[in-house]
Structure 1
Amino acid sequence: MLNYVKAELFKATRRMYLYILTALIVSGCVILLILLAMSAVEGNFNGASREAALMFLLMFLIGGLYLAPFVSDIVFSDQFKLSTIKNEVAFGQSRTKIYLGKLFAALIVDVGVFCVIVGVYLCGAFLFLPDKGMTAQVMPSVWRSLLGALPLWLGGLGVMMCLHFNFKSSNIAEILYFVFLLATSGGLTVLAWLVSDRFYRIRDLFLDVPFWTLSSGTADWAFVGRCWATGFCWLAVSTIAAILLFRKRDLS
């Protein structure tokens, strides 16, 4: 299994797609920091400080869920269309090993992208933006929000990998993922308004809902624990479902 994961990582890290995607996101972060720094120097924007930049970071954390289709595609890379999975099965690789190997590789890539984006942003914020005396008070909330966001990113990636493996069309898989993100919590909120407050409890189990608290910087450690439970439950359930479905799938 370890050699298989290494092979998948080798292939993923040789794709320019990975570096272009990361560079585009990092460039957006740098542009935002430059604009904030210029505003701070010119005195045009009273909120242009390190603390304001950190709050912007929390607001954008939900974007990690929308990166899942790209990260999954970097590892999966349309393999049904190219018949490469069919060839792997024909050469004796078990379907469970194939799925888990690609999933672990995708998770490692996702964590790497997370660390690069957050690392560059934090370094830029601390190097180029003034401290208005609140950084020490804000940073614990930032760390809690970052720690809460990571497992939710991974849970979203697990769902996306499950869809990629079980739909021949990558486009359909990605559309279903975006519907999953955009429609489920909103639909359950409407049902809660119209039918019963119990639907709020179901809504709170979905991956996007915790970001409402994480983006505000008000998450405590108990909430971070809930984020880890939510993220890894989605990862575990999607992995089990994907393996069971993939085992039965006709690859011809």
Structure 2
Amino acid sequence: MLNYIKAECFKTFNRVYTRNTLLIFALLAALVNVVFFMAFRSNPADSQELIRTSLSVIVPMLLIMVYMVLIMIDIVFSEEYKYKTFKNTLSFGFTRTQVYFGKLAVSIIVTAVISLITLFVYLATLFLLLGFPEDMNLIGLVFNRIAAAIPLYIGALCLCNACAFIIPNSTAFSFVYMGFLIVPYLLFYALTLLNPAFMPLFSTALVTPFYTAIMGLDISVANMGNMMAVGFKVESIDSIANAALLPATSVAYCLILGLAYAVIATLIGLAVYRRREIR
């Protein structure tokens, strides 16, 4: 399987799709800090506040990556569906289990590389254009949130990977994956507002911990605007900038939920794929 993973990585990282995606992500990351730099030039006295805000922006933006997982999975799968080469891969002697976990491994590698480079570009442009924060603990706080989000990304990748194997159509599996993210979250959120007894159910939605644990928002009607979008509001950024490291319970919650999604999605996806007819 290691040879399969190496071959898939070589093929994937040499695709124009991959390079263009990385370029777009890096440019968008740099653009955010260019905007902050323009604000800094107009009012240099607020430099530290702008630096704090720019660093804090990373935290709510972590949620966007759960949806961007679709792009990462599509990078790995699109050519297989376009040229119908899955059957050729199996004919070379690879088992369906090897192909399944091989694709998942490549998806995780692609996501990690693109995410790390994007984060590096963001921080590099921030420090070059605006400088370093006086309170360096804020950097540790941001990385604390990023670390807590990693298990959730693994769960999302496993869920999207399962959708891609079960549904052999990029558009169709994209809608199904988005449905798994959005529908339970909205439904359970509405039920929780009606009756707090539904809170444990709401906590099982994959995107919930980004709001409740990582961004620290309370579930209430007053926060509905934040929790229906990305949580990107001035008051949310201020609360993140003045927050502390996540408690162990929050980190454990993110870890358990992410791994639960990973295990369940992988078991279901692999079971269905091993029985599905490959054309």
TM-score normalized by structure 2? 0.83
Deviation at 1:93, TM superposition (A): 1.7
* Partner residue in 1 for 2:260: 233
Alignment partner of 1:113 is 2:114: yes
Deviation at 1:106, TM superposition (A): 0.7
SS at match of 2:136: helix
Which residues in structure 2 correspond to 1:31-180 (within 5 Å)? Answer: 31-43=31-43, 46=46, 49-131=50-132, 133=134, 135-180=135-180
Q: Which amino acid aligns with 1:41?
A: R
Which moved further from structure 2: 175-184 or 225-234? 225-234
Deviation at 1:193, TM superposition (A): 3.2
* C-alpha RMSD of the superposition: 1.9
Residues 55, 215 of structure 1: 8 Å contact kept: no
SS at match of 1:206: coil
Deviation at 1:202, TM superposition (A): 1.8
Q: Which amino acid aligns with 2:250?
A: F
* Partner residue in 2 for 1:24: 24
**What whole-Å deviation, never above 9, does each CA across 1:124-166 have from its counterpart, x for those lacking one?**
2222214563x32312211111101222122111111100111
Q: Which amino acid aligns with 1:249?
A: R
Sequence identity (%): 25
Change in Cα spacing, 1:131 to 1:83, as seen in structure 2 (3 Å) is closer
SS at match of 1:61: helix
Unpaired stretches in structure 2, ≥5 consecutive residues: 217-239
Change in Cα spacing, 1:88 to 1:192, as seen in structure 2 (3 Å) is same
* Partner residue in 1 for 2:219: none
* Partner residue in 1 for 2:225: none
**Ranges of 4+ aligned residues in structure 1 off by more than 3 Å:** 44-48, 215-218
TM-score normalized by structure 1? 0.91
Alignment partner of 1:209 is 2:208: yes
Residues 144, 221 of structure 1: 8 Å contact kept: no
Change in Cα spacing, 1:221 to 1:45, as seen in structure 2 (3 Å) is farther
Unpaired stretches in structure 1, ≥5 consecutive residues: none
Residues 49, 131 of structure 1: 8 Å contact kept: no
Deviation at 1:121, TM superposition (A): 0.9
Q: Which amino acid aligns with 1:208?
A: V
**What whole-Å deviation, never above 9, does each CA across 1:58-80 have from its counterpart, x for those lacking one?**
12111111111111111112524
Alignment partner of 1:249 is 2:276: yes
Aligned length: 250
The CA distance in 1 between the partners of 2:133 and 2:98, in whole Å, is 52
